[in-house]
Amino acid sequence: MTVELDTDIAVVGAGPAGLAAALAAAGAGARVTVLDEYPEPGGQFYKQLSSEFSVPERARLDDDYTKGDELLAAVRDAGVTLSPETLVWGSFEPGTLSVMQGHAAGTVRARSIIVASGAYERVVAFPGWDLPGVMTPGGVQTLVKNQQVAPRGRIVLGGSGPFLLAVAKSLIAAGAKPAVIYEATRPLEWLRHAPRLWGHWDRISEALHYRRLIAAAGVPVRFGRIVVRAEGDARLERVVLMECDGEGRPIPGTEQIERVDTLCIGYGFVPSVQLARLLGCTHRYELRRGGWVPEHNEEMESSVPSVFVTGEVAGIGGAHVALAEGRLAGLGAARRLGLQVADAAMADARQERLTRRRFGDLVNDVFALKPGVYDQIGDDTLVCRCEEVTARQIREAATEWGADVNFVKGVTRCGMGYCQGRVCGGMVEELTARTVGCSREAVGAFRVRPPLKPVQVGSLADLARE
C-alpha cells in the first residue's frame, strides 16, 4: 500500500508552530496539510489525550489543554488537513517529502514546505546516565500528564531551565510530588539580565505562578548544584550531586548523596533540525538558541526557496515564540505562493515574533548551558547510548582523526545506532572540539541521511513496485 498526496503547503510538525503556521496559511487561502509522527496533533506542548481516555470534567484540565483545543478547532475550521501518524523520513526531489504511515510508504508533493519539527531535550552525559530510572523531564511529564501514569518512588529533578518547574507542576498535579529540584544556575547570576524583563508581564506572572505553586507544595529548589554521577545495580538507586561554580565546574569537597528512584534530568532543548538539514537548508551554530539552527529571512524562509522553518527548530524560544513565529511563517509561505496577505498582518506578525523572541533569548541567557557540565563526562562515561561508545573512544578518535565529527563517527560508530545521533550528537561535537581545541563550527555536525528515522525495507519496496 502506498500514499500519494498533493497540497499547496505541507507543514511538518503539529505542535504550536506548525498549527499556527497552518492556520495562518489556510486563512490566506492555501490548501494546507499538516504531517505529524504522533497519533494525536498538538506536539509536545499541546499534546492531546488519547481519544480512548474520557474526561468527565474538561474544565479541570490544565490551560494548555484548553488553548490546544481552541487552536486545533480553529485549524480544523479553516479546512486544514491533519495527517497524524505520518513520519516524514526523506526528500529526494525539491517539493517532495517521503512519508510513512504505519507500514504504508508514500510521497507528499507541496509547492511550499514549512518545517516545524520542534525540539528535543538536551541531556549531558554523566556516569550512570544509562541506568533505568534516569529519564528526561519531558518524558516524565508526558507519562504523568498524557498517560496518567506516574513513575514510582522518590522523584528528583535536575539540570537547568524553566521547564523543570513546568514538569514539577505536572508531577504535583498528578500526586507524584518531586522530592527536590536541583537547578544548575543561581538566582544571583540571573540579576544582570533583570532589566530585560521589562514589558514581558504575561510571562513574568506565569513564572511567578509556577514558583508559588511549587513553593506551596513544599518542593525545595536548590541552586548551583549538578548531578555528577548516578548509581544502582539493575536500576537507579542514588545520585551524587556537587555544588558548581559559575562555569558549571564542580567544587571539590561538596559531594552529596541523594536516594532517588526516578531522576528527571535535562539542560534545555536542542532544535530538531534533521529534516531542515536533509532539505539542504544552511545552518549556523548558535549555542544560545540550542545549537545548530537553520538560517532564515524575516518571513522565516530558509536558504532553500519555498522551504520555511519556524518555532523551536528555528531556535529554542518556547511555545509563545512558536505560536508567533508559526503565524509569520504561514503568512510568509502563503505570500510566496502568490496569495494575498495584507502588509499590516505581515508587519504585525513580524513584530509579535520579535517581542516573543526577545523574551525567549532572555530565558536562554539566564539558563545558558554552563561549559563545566561537560566535565562530568569521564573517559569511561558512555556517550552514545545506542552503540555503547565511551568518551575515551571518542577522544582517541578525535586525537587520531582530527576535527571532523563524521570521522569520529566512522571510526567509533557513535551516532550510527537507532536514534541516529540525536541524543549523543551535541556531546560528540563538544568532546571532539575540546579534544582537538577548535570551534563547534570547525568540527561540524553528523551528516543526516534518509531515512531520518528507522523504516521497514519492505515498505520501501512497495514504493518501487507501485
Answer for which of 1, 4, 92, 152 binds other proteins (CB under 8 A) is 152
**If binding means CB under 8 A, how many residues of this protein chain bind other proteins?**
48
Rounded to whole angstroms, the Cα distance separating 42 from 72 reads 8
Answer for which of 50, 282, 297, 351 binds other proteins (CB under 8 A) is 50
Residue with cell 517581542: 355
Give the range of 27-35, 312-320, 321-329, 419-427 binding other proteins by CB under 8 A.
419-427
Q: How far is the CB of 47 from other proteins (least distance, A)?
A: 9
Judged by CB under 8 A, the chain residues 55 through 84 that form the site for other proteins are 55-58, 60-61
Give the range of 140-148, 332-340, 342-350, 392-400 binding other proteins by CB under 8 A.
140-148
Q: How far is the CB of 132 from other proteins (least distance, A)?
A: 3
Q: How far is the CB of 410 from other proteins (least distance, A)?
A: 18
Nearer to other proteins, 136 or 364 (CB): 136
* Residue 104 within binding range of other proteins, rule CB under 8 A: no
Nearer to other proteins, 110 or 143 (CB): 143
* Residue 254 within binding range of other proteins, rule CB under 8 A: no
Cα–Cα separations (whole angstroms), residue 55 to 38, 148, 270 = 20, 12, 33
* Residue 259 within binding range of other proteins, rule CB under 8 A: no
Q: How far is the CB of 360 from other proteins (least distance, A)?
A: 21
Rounded to whole angstroms, the Cα distance separating 295 from 297 reads 7
Nearer to other proteins, 25 or 389 (CB): 389
Q: How many CB atoms lie within 10 A of CB 454?
A: 12
> Do the Cβ atoms of 307 and 301 come closer than 8 Å?
yes
* Residue 54 within binding range of other proteins, rule CB under 8 A: yes
* Residue 131 within binding range of other proteins, rule CB under 8 A: yes
State the cell numbers at 86: 505520518
State the cell numbers at 392: 575515551
> Do the Cβ atoms of 77 and 241 come closer than 8 Å?
no
Answer for which of 44, 302, 310, 432 binds other proteins (CB under 8 A) is 44
- 3-class secondary-structure state, position 207: helix
Nearer to other proteins, 38 or 210 (CB): 38
Nearer to other proteins, 173 or 403 (CB): 173
* Residue 454 within binding range of other proteins, rule CB under 8 A: yes
One DSSP character per residue, 270-334 reads: EE--HHHHHTT--EEEEGGGTEEEE-B-TT-BBSSTTEEE-GGGGS---HHHHHHHHHHHHHHHH
Rounded to whole angstroms, the Cα distance separating 228 from 182 reads 12
Answer for which of 147, 254, 256, 297 binds other proteins (CB under 8 A) is 147
* Residue 38 within binding range of other proteins, rule CB under 8 A: yes
* Residue 461 within binding range of other proteins, rule CB under 8 A: no
Q: CA gyration radius for the chain?
A: 22
Answer for which of 175, 195, 218, 437 binds other proteins (CB under 8 A) is 175
> Do the Cβ atoms of 169 and 208 come closer than 8 Å?
no
* Residue 458 within binding range of other proteins, rule CB under 8 A: no
Nearer to other proteins, 101 or 142 (CB): 142
Give the range of 126-134, 197-205, 252-260, 309-317 binding other proteins by CB under 8 A.
126-134
* Residue 120 within binding range of other proteins, rule CB under 8 A: yes
Residue with cell 539542504: 280
- Phi and psi for 16 in degrees, rounded to 5? -50, -45
Residue 290, Ramachandran bin (φ over 0: left; ψ between -120 and 50: alpha; else beta): left
- 3-class secondary-structure state, position 107: strand
Amino acid at 7: T
**Residue among 380, 398, 376 at smallest CA distance from 389:** 380
Judged by CB under 8 A, the chain residues 332 through 391 that form the site for other proteins are 385-388
Cα–Cα separations (whole angstroms), residue 31 to 118, 300, 380, 428 = 22, 19, 53, 41
Give the range of 2-10, 108-116, 132-140, 185-193 binding other proteins by CB under 8 A.
132-140
* Residue 121 within binding range of other proteins, rule CB under 8 A: yes
Rounded to whole angstroms, the Cα distance separating 212 from 221 reads 12
Torsion sign across C-alpha atoms 101, 104, 110, 114: positive
Q: How far is the CB of 135 from other proteins (least distance, A)?
A: 6
> Do the Cβ atoms of 230 and 185 come closer than 8 Å?
no
* Residue 140 within binding range of other proteins, rule CB under 8 A: yes
Nearer to other proteins, 151 or 360 (CB): 151
Nearer to other proteins, 377 or 389 (CB): 389
Q: Which residues bind other proteins (CB under 8 A)?
A: 37-39, 44, 49-58, 60-61, 120-121, 130-136, 138-140, 142-143, 147-149, 151-152, 175, 234-235, 385-388, 417-419, 422-423, 454
